[in-house]
Every structure is written in C-alpha cells, then in structure tokens.
Amino acid sequence: MAHPLVRRELTELAKLFDKISMCTHCGNCKYFYEYGALENLAAPGCPQGDKFLFDAYMGSRGKIALAKGLLSGRIDFTDTVSHVLFTCTTCAACRSMCETDVRDYIIRIFEALRYEAWRAGVEIPAGIKRWRAHIAVERNPYMEKHAERTAWIPREIKEKLPKKARYLYFVGCTSSYRQKNIALATLKLLVNLGIDVTVSEDEWCCGSPLLRTGQWDLAKEFAEHNAQLMEEHGAEAIITTCAGCYRTLSKDYQEGPPDGYKDILGVGFSGKVIHTIQLLEELIKKGEIEFVGSFDKVVTYHDPCHLGRHAGVYDSPRSVLNAIPGLKLIEMKRARQYSFCCGAGGGVRGAFPEYSLETAAKRVREAEATGAEVLTSVCPFCWRNLSDAIQMIGSKMKMMDITEILVDIVKPRSK
C-alpha cells in the first residue's frame, strides 16, 4: 500500500516508498573501494557517473533522490530527469557498494522510475522507442524477422536436432541475430559433448530489454510465451549463453521483488535455468570433458553484470578457464563484484551508442593493462560492445567467448 503522503499516481514507484526512504545519501555507491592487504581499490564503479560527473548521475544516491523528489511532488518528470534515468546501465555496481537496507531494491527502483517515465509522457531515447513497435511484432529488438531466428544453424546440425530433448538451448536475441558466432560455437560444443539438446523455432525475446527499460506492459506476453517452451520440448532445464537471458529466466520470471518480476509477469514458471558456463564447469569437474588441444594464450576475463552482480555467478567462468590447457588467466584490477560494466546494458547501447562504446573502451584499456592477448566473457551483449570498442580504439586484443575458446580443443564424444 502506498504511503499517504506520496503521489499515488506514481503507482509502482509509490509501492517502493519505504525502501526509497532507507537511502541515507552517504555516497558509498559512487565508487568501488576494498581494503586489501597491500592497497585499497579506489576506482570508479558507476559508468554513468564516470561519464556525466554530476551527482544526479553517480551511483544510486542521485537517482533515489530523484525518486524522493518525484514522490513528494517537489519535482516533476522532465526530459532532463529522463536523461538521468535512461543513461544508467543498471549494472548494479552501486548496489554492490551500498550498506543500507535499500540495497536489494536499488535496481527495482531504477526500473520503476523508467516505467513511470513512460507513463508521464516525457522524452524517451529514440533508440529505445525505435524497437518498441518492432519487438511486439517480430519478437526481437534488433529489427529482424522472427522467421529468421534460427537461420544461423547449419542444415546438417538442424536436421539432427530432436523435437524433444533433456535441455532446451535458449539462444537469446543477440546470439540469434548478431553474435551468431557464439550461438554456433555453443551448439557445436554441446552436440560434440553428446548433450541431449534442442533449439526452439519459436523462441521469443526473453523480455530483458523490456523490463530493464521500464516497458513492463509488453513484457508479460513474452514471459507467458517463453514459459511454455520447456514443456513443449520435454526439457528438464533451459541452457542459455546470454547473461541477460539467464537473469531474466531464472529471476524475473520466477521471483518477486526485489530481484524478480513475478508480481508483474504473473507466470507460473519454475523451470531450472543454467548458464552454459555452469554446465561446462559441472562436466569438467566430473571428468566428462577431454581436451585434445591447448590454448596457449594469456587471457583476462570480464564479468557480465547480469551474470555477476545480478546473479552471483563469479566462480564458474574462472573454474572453466583455469581448466583449459595452456591458458593463463590474469585478472583485471576491477573484477568480480567490482567489475566495471561494458556499457551495453539497461538499453544504453541502443539509446546512447557513443557513450556506451566510450565505456567499453575504458574496460578494454583496463584489459590491455593486464598484458593479456585475449579478452573473454560469457555474454554476447558484452562480446558485441567490447569487440566494437576494440576496433574503435585500434586495440590488438582479441575478443572471444569462452565457448569459442573451447569448441576446437574439446574432444567430441563418440556416437
């Protein structure tokens, strides 16, 4: 129930009034800090604040101050307020530093602010509005045809995919339409390992772009459709290579606030969702992956925000990388919960591409400083943004998904 002294027309934001009131505006959210044995990690954490510098943009405190002002009626939605809201990558760096009881609700508050911005009729970034109509028809935000969603699968593999299987590979929009290299490496790897897997011809966008950008009115239909796919294919679990899909299918579909949107989506989905890297780690630990080659390169790993800070998966990628013969893993200064965002999330890549790539370039420079030859990750959206930044600044680093590293050095199981 909304507090009696807040603007009740801001329905979703008003529900969070008690949580919003818990922010003490201490400023811890603005930077990363960790007191280690030798030195303190004192570095920018918020890519939005690192770009725009004004306090309203830095960490959670500025945006929560906006929420308080909007709820009290002291300020109103304007195009300037909208710019503050939609330049946030929702990376949750601020949440990792927060020490008050608002912490768990920070991302939900940000996304509720965006939901209210749509309803208030203020200026929404053109790059986001551009795909709103398309996604409702073709079920992806990339302005592509739904009928071409599985066009990346080679005929010789597609013909052998069963209708029903133990695992359903939920490919995601980015891998289906842009980073087909990751989709193909993943499917080839799973098939070579003898995994009983299939791919749906009627997969829709998981809804992450809609939820992250406040378009909750459209997201429900997508969740309802995708929630039926496991049963249709007789699958025990969903596998996804996309960090955003993993977060959405495992949390948004299945949990209520603060981490999920079950209260909005209302789907009765309780399926097992695993990221590809978790399955690979399990197979390696069981001794079910045999290597027939090595990867003799120095590698550094980028933690995707949706897999790391949003879902707490930090060890699995490192466990797999450390098991690869010849590979030497070197960590960046900002890693794990202190990882610096690639700049693509929260609708920022589509809405503000120059700022998004600027952010990615900062991350690439940090990767270069490790002396690594290869920058790797386990998210096609991160892959795309970091790869584009590598080209933009003329870096000699090579961007690879971990599945791309593995696919040619894992021994196929005999049929």
pTM for the model: 0.95
Domains parsed from the chain with CATH numbers: 11-120 (no CATH), 146-280 (3.40.50.1860), 291-406 (3.40.50.1860)
Closest CA to 406 of 330, 292, 318: 292
Q: What is the mean pLDDT of each run of 10 residues along the chain (415 residues)?
A: 64 94 91 79 90 92 95 93 97 95 96 96 94 95 96 96 97 98 98 97 97 96 96 97 97 96 94 98 96 97 98 98 98 95 96 97 98 98 98 98 97 79
Say how many residues make up the chain: 415
Q: Give pLDDT, residue 415.
A: 56
Q: Give pLDDT, residue 4.
A: 52
